[in-house]
A = this chain, B = another copy of it.
């Protein structure tokens, strides 16, 4: 094979698997889908799915054209934090920087939001994916019950997704024009409060 040359056969197989995964995730959701079922739908051996994709979440990211693995985004428990006040701004900045990099590609925020708006099944799969991949891994605050933790992660989600919607879809200045770091300074304290402060009863 020439340097940099493509191997069309393999690329086709990978694409076949992705197309099969799109159909299976969109009908069965994320939780109930197995790599084995995707392999069957694609008409390939399950080992081949494992060869191309590092597990179900990796396949889902490819099938939904997500621009990045949400676990790459620095979170409240992420590395490099210098204090609790910093984490909200850091999370906002990381989240928007990653979506910024995806603009103009087939994995933009608009394409992801559009896919969710067009199909409740896709939205369900996305929620299940986020639940397994992100929310379940957030640290629980000591002594708090699951219901309170669910409110906290729900509120954090609303603020993050609203920033993306306003930046990339509504395109309202200055949310659409400021740097991720500036927006992090404005909205970061909100995430910190949702995450750490007593909830209004």
A residues lining the B interface (CB < 8 Å): 110-111, 113-114, 116-118, 120, 123-124, 126-127, 130, 147, 150-151, 154-155, 157-163, 165-166, 169-175, 185-190, 193-194, 199-201
Contact = CB atoms under 8 A, between A and B. Distances in A.
B147 A174 contact: yes
A187 B199 CA distance: 9
A117 B113 contact: yes
Contact of A162 (B161, B171, B186): B161
Copies in the complex: 2
Given A110-B117, A113-B117, A117-B169, A175 B157 contact: yes
A201 B170 CA distance: 24
Nearest to A123: B169
A150 B186 CA distance: 12
A109 to B, nearest CB: 9
Contacts of A171: 120, 123-124, 127
A201 B194 CA distance: 20
